[in-house]
Amino acid sequence: MADEAKSESIIRFERVTKRFGDQVVLNRLSFQVPRNRITVVIGRSGTGKSVMLKHVMGLLKPDEGRVLVDGVDIGTLSGPALLGLRRRFGMCFQNAALFDSMTVGENVAFPLVEHTRLSAREIQDVVAEKLRLVGLTGVAHKMPGELSGGMRKRVGIARAIALEPEIILYDEPTTGLDPIMASTIDALIRETQEKLGVTCLVISHDIQASLRVGHRLAMLYDGGIRAEGTPEEMLANPDPVLRQFMDGRADGPIRVL
Ligand SMILES: Nc1ncnc2c1ncn2[C@@H]1O[C@H](COP(=O)(O)OP(=O)(O)O)[C@@H](O)[C@H]1O
Ligand SMILES: [Mg+2]
C-alpha cells in the first residue's frame, strides 16, 4: 500500500529544510502526496503547515532539499514556467480571502478573467456551474459581506476550482466555523474531490475534521513528518506525540507553551 502510494505521488518533499533566521521550521522534511486522493497534514498551530503549502506553490523556496511536482523541481522554475505550474493548482486560503469589493460572481470569475480568453458569457456559465457544484445558487450578485462564514468558504472553493485544477490546496478549510458548518464543508471537500477526480492537500489543526476528510493523514511535528497513514492507522498508532495531539491532551511529550 505504502509503495503503491509512493509511485503514484504527485507532490514530493525531499529532505526540505526551511529556516527563518535562527528558527528551523522544516528540518529535512520528506513527504509524498498521492495522486487523486485527499491528504491532510495535521499539526499544532505554528508548526509550519502553511510554510509547507507555500513551498508547493513555489511561494517559498527550500534552503536545502527539493519540492517536486510531477517530478519537476519547482525551486528551479521562474517566470512563465512557474506561472504555468501554479495554474495547475487551486488554492483555498484560510478565511476564504475573498475580495470584499467584488460580487460573489466576480470573485469566482477572477481567475478566469486573469488566465483565460473566455468571453464574458462563457465566464458567466463557468461561474454558475462552479457555484452550483459547491451548493450555491442565486448568490452570484451578492457581496461577500452578505454571506455566512460557511457560504464564504463555499465561494472560496468555487473560485479555487474555477480553472479546473489538478491539485487543490486547502489551508485550514474549517477553522472558525461551527461544528455543523465544518462538517458540511468537509463533505463538500470530499464530494468535490470525487466529482473532479483531483488531488487534494489539506492542512488543518482540527483532528476531527481531518479524520472525516482525509484518505491519508500525516502529522507535522518538529520540522518533520512524525507519523502518517490512513485515519484508521493514525487512530491505532501508539506514538505518544501523535496520541497526545489526537486526543487533545495537555500532558505528554509535546511541550505546551
Ligand atoms: N515569512 C515568514 N517569515 C518569518 N517567519 C515565518 C514566515 N512564515 C512563517 N514563519 C514562521 O514559521 C512558523 C510556522 O508558521 P506556519 O507555517 O504559518 O504555521 P502553521 O502550522 O500554523 O500554518 C511560525 O513560527 C511562523 O512565525
Ligand atoms: Mg497556517
Asked whether the predicted pLDDT for residue 58 surpasses 80, the reply is: yes
CA-proximal residue: ligand 1, atom 2 (nearest):
20
* Nearest ligand atom owner, CA of 29: 1
Alpha-carbon span 9 to 35, nearest angstrom: 5
Q: What is the pLDDT of residues 101-110, one digit of tens each?
A: 999 999 999 9
Asked whether the predicted pLDDT for residue 95 surpasses 80, the reply is: no
DSSP 16: E
Alpha-carbon span 20 to 237, nearest angstrom: 32
Hey, what's the cell of 35?
495522486
Q: What is the pLDDT at residue 257?
A: 63
Q: What is the pLDDT at residue 5?
A: 45
Q: Residue 93: pLDDT band by 50, 70, 90 thresholds?
A: confident
Q: Which tops the pLDDT comparison, 179 or 255?
A: 179
Residues lining ligand 1, Cβ inside 6 A:
20, 25, 43, 45-51
Q: Which tops the pLDDT comparison, 249 or 54?
A: 54
The 10 Å Cβ neighbour count of residue 202 is: 28
Q: What is the pLDDT at residue 103?
A: 95
Alpha-carbon span 191 to 22, nearest angstrom: 42
Q: Give distance in angstroms: CA of 51 to centre of ligand 1.
A: 6
Q: What is the pLDDT at residue 1?
A: 46
Q: What is the mean pLDDT of residues 207-219?
A: 95
Q: Give distance in angstroms: CA of 173 to centre of ligand 1.
A: 18
> How far apart, in Å, are the Cα atoms of 174 and each of 49, 104, 170, 218?
15, 20, 10, 18
CA-proximal residue: ligand 1, atom 4 (nearest):
20
Q: Give distance in angstroms: CA of 137 to centre of ligand 2.
A: 30
Q: What is the mean pLDDT of residues 69-89?
A: 91
In the sheet that holds 89-92, the strands lie side by side as 89-92, 167-171, 199-204, 38-42, 216-221, 224-229
Structure pTM?
0.92
Q: If residue 24 lies in a helix (H) or strand (E), which one and from where to where?
A: strand 23-34
Q: What is the pLDDT at residue 27?
A: 98
Q: What is the pLDDT of residues 1-35, one digit of tens each?
A: 444 444 589 999 999 999 999 999 999 999 999 99
Residue with cell 468571453: 119
* Nearest-atom index, ligand 1, CA of 44: 21
Q: What is the pLDDT at residue 7?
A: 53
Q: Which tops the pLDDT comparison, 201 or 8?
A: 201
Alpha-carbon span 60 to 52, nearest angstrom: 9
> Could you give phi then psi for residue 169, rounded to 5 degrees?
-105, 130
Q: What is the pLDDT at residue 249?
A: 83
- Residue to probe by mutation, ligand 1, list 16, 19, 20, most atoms within 8 Å of CB: 20
Instruction: Please state, rounded to an integer, the average pLDDT across all residues of the chain.
Output: 91
* Nearest ligand atom owner, CA of 59: 1
CA-proximal residue: ligand 1, atom 27 (nearest):
46
Per the CB < 8 A criterion, the answer to whether 6 and 202 are in contact is no
* Nearest-atom index, ligand 1, CA of 51: 17
Q: Give distance in angstroms: CA of 121 to centre of ligand 2.
A: 37
Hey, what's the cell of 125?
456559465
Q: What is the pLDDT at residue 4?
A: 47
Lowest-confidence segment of 25-34, 84-93, 165-174, 209-218 by average pLDDT: 84-93
Instruction: Give residues with Cβ within 8 angstroms of 67, minimum separation 6.
Output: 11, 12, 13, 14, 16, 55, 56, 58, 73, 74, 75
